Structure 1
Amino acid sequence: MESSIFTGGRTKESVAYDLALALAAKDPEISTPEALIQRIAEILPACRSAAEKRWEKENPPLDNVIFDPFTY
């Protein structure tokens, strides 16, 4: 079973940023903070898309779910 990425208050944006930072930090051509920031900015849109897809997978729509307040 896959573990949940969106736990402990994680948001789509925080997951996307962490992905971008992890990927950018592996780039051997980056040697300055400015270059790291630039690389993060370049790959952040793709990371946002990946985070959105993962969030949707972990949080499927609640179709056909009936809330009954008397069951609790």
Structure 2
Amino acid sequence: MKFKLISGNRTIDSVAYDLALSIASKETSTTTPALVLAKVMELMPECIKLVSEKASEESKLKTGKVRPLVL
């Protein structure tokens, strides 16, 4: 099943935040809200970069410039 990561009201920042929050919440060292927030802030630049790249791939697929990988 194919679906777009960036669609509807979702933005690159909102998807990146959700990704960072998911990772931060799984860290055993993040035991307080302040530590979770600090970890999210630490992860955001990398998550934004990753999601931006994914959004770029999705936009190319939409216009037919890149063919999907078939396994």
Q: Take 2:26 and 2:2, find their aligned partners in 1: how far apart are those partners?
A: 25
Indicate the RMSD between aligned Cα atoms, in angstroms: 1.9
Long gaps (5+) in structure 2: 64-71
Q: Take 1:9 and 1:59, find their aligned partners in 2: how far apart are those partners?
A: 16
1:27 aligns to what? 27
Identity across matched positions, percent: 32
TM-score norm. by structure 1 comes to 0.78
Q: Take 1:18 and 1:47, find their aligned partners in 2: how far apart are those partners?
A: 9
Long gaps (5+) in structure 1: 64-72
1:16 aligns to what? 16
Runs of 4+ in 1 over 3 A off after TM superposition: none
